[in-house]
Amino acid sequence: MCAVGQRRRTRSRRTTTTTTTPGSLRWTAVGFAAVLLLLTILGSVVQCQTFIRRTANVCRTDEECPVQAYCERYNSVHEYGVCSCMAGYFAVTDSNNTRRCLRAATDIGDYCLHNDQCQYTLSTGNSECRDNSCQCVDGAHYVEREKRCYKTSFLGEYCRLTNNCIGNDTYCRDGICVCTPGKHPNTDRNRCLHDAKLGDQCFRDEECVTDNSRCAQELCTCRVSHVLNELRNRCLPIANKIYDLCEENIQCLYNIPHSQCRITTGADGITAGRCTCASRFHEAAFKCVSSVHLNGICEVPDNCIDRDTTCIHGRCRCIDHLIEVDGICSGSGPFAKHHRDGVILALASVLLSSWRGFS
């Protein structure tokens, strides 16, 4: 980058005395000044192709130079000099091919008329003058600590410099933009969030790093579809019915009362857990109900676990046409035969009465 124009110290040169007339001396001085001016302009262009300090105006006094410029001479012997922009300014060419000195921007958002005003300080290829305001171009961002625009690399993308990585608490590691330890990228990968574990304070869901967690009431907790495990460091999915996969009892008990997680190892050597009913309970319609034997107190027919029993008036009884024999509902035996014969006689009597009525 070219330095902003400043007054150069006057350099002394040795001069040799020659016998000349006043007229020839004047023409010699003018010619030398013209050659010096040409060399100065060419040297400036070669040395600084983007930001030119000299305006190419030949001058004898500062008043002959544009605003914010002064007449620069190499030494006091030469009558003519070249107009150069003051410190903090540089020469630009207007639409009418005249040069003037414009102030270089010092920060993002500074007022501008030309791109050069912004690019002098903010960056040659990554800044521009947009709506009379110095801004970074699309695909670049402003780094406050450097006061410059840099090409943007999002978290997880390739980078050459740490300044390429957008957002605070980021740096370039092995050519990839990453967050500093204890932080992680947000969803848009343009900033780093602090790692908030279960029970830690938070302000948004993105801060919670535990799988299937969220931010609720400014604390990281499990999502509504998950439950906290016993060690309070994981969120486990809640089981909805019997035989769903599980790891801990709490997964089953959350939606299925009187259930448990039973861990078994199959013939293939794979260990897995499934929700089953706890002791003294059994499965009915993918739920766990209390197991009640014959003559026990019940609430619903599903409570009665013995064969051929149902809940009748709050007790597990044998179903119709069966009787209890030694604690078992049975349709055989003398009492059962007598009961069956009585039923047959009653049906025959009803049919006979109906036939007589028709006749």
* Residue 60 resides in a domain: yes
Q: How far apart are CA 183 and CA 161, in angstroms?
A: 20
pLDDT attached to residue 356: 61
Identify the domain containing residue 73 by its residue range: 51-103
Mean pLDDT of 298-323: 94
Residue among 253, 277, 256, 274 nearest 265 (CA): 274
**Cα torsion 113, 118, 120, 125: sign:** negative
67 and 93 co-located in one domain: yes
% the chain with pLDDT above 70: 76
Phi, psi (degrees; rounded to nearest 5) at 134: -75, 125
pLDDT attached to residue 345: 65
Max mean pLDDT among 87-96, 98-107, 145-154 falls in: 145-154
pLDDT above 80 (res 348): no
Residue 136 near residue 160, CB atoms below 8 Å: no
pLDDT attached to residue 97: 80
| Tally of domains in the chain | 3
99 and 59 co-located in one domain: yes
59 and 88 co-located in one domain: yes
Reported as a pLDDT band with limits 50, 70 and 90, residue 58 is: confident
pLDDT attached to residue 96: 79
* Residue 149 resides in a domain: no
Q: Where are the alpha helices (DSSP H) in the chain?
A: 22-47, 115-119, 249-253, 334-358
How many other C-beta atoms lie within 10 A of the C-beta of residue 289?
21
* Residue 3 resides in a domain: no
pLDDT attached to residue 329: 92
268 and 301 co-located in one domain: no
Reported as a pLDDT band with limits 50, 70 and 90, residue 12 is: very low
Question: 14-42 burial by CB neighbour count: b if 16+ within 10 A, else e?
Answer: eeeeeeeeeeeeeeeeeeebeebbeebee
Task: Look over the chain and give the mean of its residue pLDDT values, rounded to a whole number.
Answer: 82
Mean pLDDT of 31-38: 46
pLDDT attached to residue 346: 59
Judged by average pLDDT, the poorest of 29-33, 246-250, 272-276 is 29-33
93 and 57 co-located in one domain: yes
pLDDT attached to residue 54: 74
pLDDT above 90 (res 230): yes
pLDDT above 70 (res 334): no
Task: Enumerate the β-bridge partners of residue 72.
Answer: 82
Cα dihedral 174/177/178/180 (nearest 10): 90
Mean pLDDT of 263-289: 92
* Residue 246 resides in a domain: yes
Task: Enumerate the β-bridge partners of residue 82.
Answer: 58, 72
pLDDT attached to residue 210: 97
pLDDT above 90 (res 251): yes
* Residue 259 resides in a domain: yes
* Residue 97 resides in a domain: yes
Mean pLDDT of 287-291: 94
* Residue 250 resides in a domain: yes
242 and 266 co-located in one domain: yes
* Residue 154 resides in a domain: no
Judged by average pLDDT, the poorest of 80-89, 160-169, 209-218 is 80-89
Task: Enumerate the β-bridge partners of residue 245.
Answer: 274
Mean pLDDT of 314-330: 91
Q: Within 13 Å, how many C-alpha atoms sit on residue 291's CB side?
A: 11
Q: Give the tens place of pLDDT for each residue, 129-186.
A: 999 999 999 999 999 989 999 999 999 999 999 999 998 899 999 999 999 999 999 9
Mean pLDDT of 212-237: 96
299 and 262 co-located in one domain: no
Q: Give the tens place of pLDDT for each residue, 36-48.
A: 444 444 333 333 3
Reported as a pLDDT band with limits 50, 70 and 90, residue 34 is: very low
Residue 290 to residues 116, 249, 279, 293, 316, Cα–Cα distance (Å): 84, 18, 9, 10, 12
Bigger pLDDT: 28 or 111? 111
Judged by average pLDDT, the poorest of 106-110, 293-297, 333-337 is 333-337
Tokens 């619903």 sit on residue? 300
